[in-house]
Structure 1
Amino acid sequence: MKTLLACVLAATLTASPVLLPSIARAQSVQPIEGIAAVVDEDVVLRSELDRAMANVLSQYAGREDQLPPREILERQVIERLVLVKLQVARANATGVRINDQEVDQAVSALAAQNGMTVEQLAQQVARDGSSFAEFRSSIRDELTIQRLRQRFAQSRVSVSEAEIDAAMQAQQGAGEQYRLAHILVAVPEAATPEQLQIAQQKIEGVKSLLDRGEMDFAAAAVRYSDSPNALEGGDLGWRNLDEIPTAFAQLVRGLQPGGVSAPLRGPSGYQLLQLVEVRDASQAGPNLVTQYRAGHILVRVGNGVDEAEAKAAADTLRARIAGGADFAEVARESSQDASSQARGGDLGWFTADQFGPEFGSAVAALADGEVSQPLRTEAGWHIIRRDESRQADVGNSDLRVQVSETIGRRKLEDEWNRFLREMRGEAFVDVRVGPAAETQESQAPATGG
């Protein structure tokens, strides 16, 4: 189970900063919960912090020397938990709701991905000393943050045809990919000269430590970076040249593997970039993705149809199919998805993320030929029939769409991180463990030799 929780933790740390429950047997006997931090109208409990710390320590088993002192690591982890609370609160305030069935679908998909039934997953979580209710709660938070991020992307991120044209031109003849890492010292949107000076001194101090060989880059990122990926050593993964901000692309091409840039001033603050590795794009292998062919029947909520009525209608349609009715005929008669109704609900071939995480998780959890129970998404109630699946090499097919998605991801990353910083800056946060707020001794290394 340690491997399963590690995989889930790694996924949530890169997509959004959710920390899943881990071993917490001793805490169950505490009569009163301690408070680690107050976050607006919510709190981070000491038990939440302890579980999150246990998860991070398990990720760095055998590499503990890369971690900062415990009080600094605690502060990093608290910041992660604070951001989770703020994102979930913002999502709830904007009407994002994840119902129990959506959580069930996500848990089922997670169990299937790890070769387990849901019952086996629950038993394994219990053997590891964690509550399955807490596990489900973390899954719900993750889905909530995903939904908030999707809405954010739809409202804030757009890619122009000119940007796609420029990126495609830049790709011609470019056969290299770059694995990057970074350290970010963030500054507020309207930073004062004093704040800029402090941030610049800090980033120069970190660079000095690296130049003197007193710390490797990953350890410095864990200790000093303000980026959400700090606990992953600042790793940004493999990127094509068009996935690197234009201002940094030429600089990256001038670095040698292992090399670290001079401090850079960007829109988020001051950064250090490390070129970890370079590879020929062909070394990445075929760009294989799992595609599914499926059909669905949609019952919408609204226009005089409330939640209960829509769910009852979906249950009735599902019962008809279970009783032998032809799925395509039921879809043609009753589906409210105008784009697929005439085709008997057929959606053609698609990837799991194409219609949103809830829909994709449900399709992935089905066997070929299986029909789902009614599933709730933002669109309404779905009944899904998975017809078949395949591994497809997308290669250069529909290259323009791929380039557009690449640019969109890069823009979303920048805008989302800025949004998180703004949200954190506007929040009332009272940290009640570790060093005094914002005054950790090791946060600002000295500059100079």
Structure 2
Amino acid sequence: MQLISGFSRFLRSGWLKPVAPALTAAIFAVAGTHSMAQSLFSPAIRVNQDIVTWYELEQRLQFLNVLGLPGSSEADVRDALIDAKLRQQVMREAGVQAAPEAVQLGIDEFASRGQLSSEQFLQLLGESGVDPETVRDYIADQLAWRDYISSRYLSQARPTEDEIDRALGQTGGGGLQVLLSEIIIPVNQQTVAQTELLAQEISRLEGVDAFSAAAAQYSAAATRDQGGRLDWLNITDLPPALQPVILGLQNGEVTDPISLPNAVALFQMRGLREVATSAAPISKLDYAIYYIPGGRNADALSQATSLKEEIDTCDDLYGIAKDQPPEVLERIDAAPSEVPRDVAVELAKLDRNEVSTNLTRNNGQTLMFLMLCNRTRDLGENTSRADVANALAQQRLTAFAESLVEQLRADAIIVQE
């Protein structure tokens, strides 16, 4: 369960998918698994004193499948509806419910993602067999649960000033790290429109597996073989402009497409953690670029592989570039804000004297042999304290919510028909 991200990403989807005949048959087969003598409004699941009817089960299946959202198998939907009943029981006791105007705003925003009015959106769902009340109930549950968790746990979730300092790496006592997946899609003048459409499609993906499959299929980065998965990165190692974007994500969320020279990038959040080691912000980046003709063709990549084995430090590149035109090698010492975004993203993944060959220039015709020479850190605040505080609080609220639902499940009497 994703407390805050589930609803925000749900609103971003904006896609209605036609229901295939086989899918429709499968959904009605669910309703047909109970006795034909029983009503659709008879219990499919009992959760303490509440019931989930066969109609609710069929409606949620239809709703998720029409929108093409994950978690739309019968088993997943049963689990989700059990959790929903447990949440509703707790909120009922606390007197928490979503205001009708807030639910309507949620429907309005949801519909606007598909460039539809609320009436058009609900009508299209209705034509696929989804009752408007199913949509309202789903959104109301998400909004009310967000408010309930915030009111119950926000005081505990708010980080202290010292915790924010540690997350920023300013006290030597800790830091904030992110676990990301990436997709880097090359682009040229002929493929701009096609790539933009593809990137928009990927930005709407739900789930780590779906994003990893897209990375394996479309990404040009070396991480494609790992489904785009990166190792833990210090948030302060990322480009300053990208840090608040990443910190604004919840687990499983994907950034909007990010334009880079000759490429479009997307990142998915897979984790956020506080660590005991310091990671102060970077004031200077020292790096070298050796340009290899041929772009990403086999010869250029082979030359880059051989070059990696020949050198140990950035200074070794001067010997490689000797007697060649001066423009073949650049050695750059710059503030993070002055580094091109695609270069800064690659440098964030590298340790000192490590190399990336993911980037190109000259419309893809020149391969960049990019090497990190050194990072200089200081105690500046490139990352907003408010961004870090919000990210930590949201992470903790999600953990509180998940723990509470697990506890409620353990204590509940659940009977499935």
TM bucket, shorter chain: 0.3 to 0.5
Rg (Cα) greater in structure? 2
Length-normalised TM-score, structure 2? 0.43
Length-normalised TM-score, structure 1? 0.40
